[in-house]
Amino acid sequence: MAEKKVENQQPPRHAPPKGTSSQRQELLYDPNVPTSSHAEQARTMAEKMGTATLCTMSADYSGHPYGSFVTYALHDGNPIFLISALAEHTKNLNSDSKASLLIAEGGDGNPLALGRITLIGNCTKVPESERNEMKEIFLSKHESAKFYVDFGDFSFFRLMVDSVRYIGGFGRMSWVDEESWSLAIPDPLQEHAEGIIEHMNEDHDDAMIVMCQKMSKAVDTTEAVMTGIDRYGFEMSALTSDGPRPIRLGFENEATTPDEARIEIVALVKKARAME
C-alpha cells in the first residue's frame, strides 16, 4: 500500500471532546488502523461541496470582514469563483485580495460534530488567457452557470490557498500547510460512499455486528451501522451497553473502486466469522 503523508501531532480521528471522561470514551478499536490524513479529509470535503462562505475585507467598513454565499469549483486545489462586478465581495477583493473560504458539511444532529474547513490565502482575478479553462472547470461543477458565464460583468477569481484549518468534528482538528494540501488526493470512493453505506446498512447489518464483536473491543455490540468509508477502511457506529460507540476497521489493501471496496469488506467479514 502506498505510504500516506502523516501530519505532525494529528489527533486520533475519534478522539473524545475535551473535558469528556477518558474512561467512558476509551477507544474501542486499534488507534493505528489505516486512516486518511487531515489534509486528505479536507481535500475530499472541498471536492465534494460546491457552495461556501467567502470572507473578504470590507472596502466600505475598513477592518471588518464581510461574508457572502458563493459557489466554487477547485482547480489544482485552489477554489475558483465566477462573480459579478456588482457584488460586494468583488469590490472588496479589488481593494484587498486577502480572503478565506469556509466550507461546511450539512447533515442531521449536532452541527458542531460535522466537518468544516477554512481555506486562507489571496484571491485575485484570473488572467483572461486562463478564462476558457476556468469556464470548463466551473461549468462541470455548476451547469446552471452557463446562462450567465459569458456576461460581460462576470469574471473568474481564484483563491490561492496558503493554509487550511481542518475541523472534522469534536476532537479532530489541525492546521494543514500549503504543501500537504497541494499533495493531498481526494478520496476516490467519495462519489460512491453513499451507495456503499446504504447497501451495507440495508443488507449486511449482521455482518457488521460480527465485525464489531470480533475485531474490536465492542464485544457486546447488538446493532451496528456503517457511517463512513474511504480507500483505507470504513467506520461504524456500534450500539453497546455504554451506548453508540465509533468503530473503525482498516482494509488490507487500498480500495479505489466500489468493487475493490467490496472485496476488502468481504475479506474482513470472512475473517470475523472465522473468529466466532
26-63 residue pLDDT tens: 899 999 999 999 999 999 999 999 999 999 999 999 88
User: Phi/psi zone of residue 148: left (φ > 0), alpha (ψ -120 to 50 degrees), beta?
Assistant: alpha
Band of pLDDT at residue 13, cut at 50, 70 and 90: very low
Mean pLDDT of 217-221: 97
Nearest to 46 by CA among 185, 192, 203: 185
Of 273 and 17, which is predicted with more confidence?
273
188-274: CATH topology is Split barrel-like (3.20.180)
pLDDT in the model for residue 1: 36
DSSP 8-state code for residue 257: S
pLDDT in the model for residue 3: 38
Q: For residue 260, what are the CA distances in angstroms to 41, 202, 203, 205, 255? A: 20, 20, 18, 20, 5
Length, in residues, of the chain: 276
pLDDT in the model for residue 2: 38
pLDDT in the model for residue 9: 36
pLDDT in the model for residue 21: 45
How many CA within 13 A on the CB side of residue 207? 15
Residue 251 C-alpha cell reads as 482494509
User: Longest C-alpha distance within the chain, in Å?
Assistant: 68
Residue 30 C-alpha cell reads as 486499534
For the chain, the domains span: 42-183, 188-274
Domain 42-183: give its CATH code: 2.30.110.10
Cα 21 from chain centre? 27
% of the chain at pLDDT higher than 90: 84
pTM score, whole prediction? 0.84
Nearest to 33 by CA among 224, 202, 244, 251: 251
d(Cα 132, Cα 155) in Å, to the nearest integer?
11
The rounded mean pLDDT for the chain is 91
d(Cα 42, Cα 176) in Å, to the nearest integer?
9
Written as one string, the DSSP assignment of 72-139 is -EEETTEEEEEEETTSHHHHHHHH--EEEEEEE---SS-GGGS-EEEEEEEEEEPPGGGHHHHHHHHH
Torsion 26-270-191-221 (CA) sign: negative
Instruction: Note the pLDDT tens digit of each residue in 90-137.
Output: 999 999 999 999 999 988 778 888 899 999 999 999 999 999 999 999
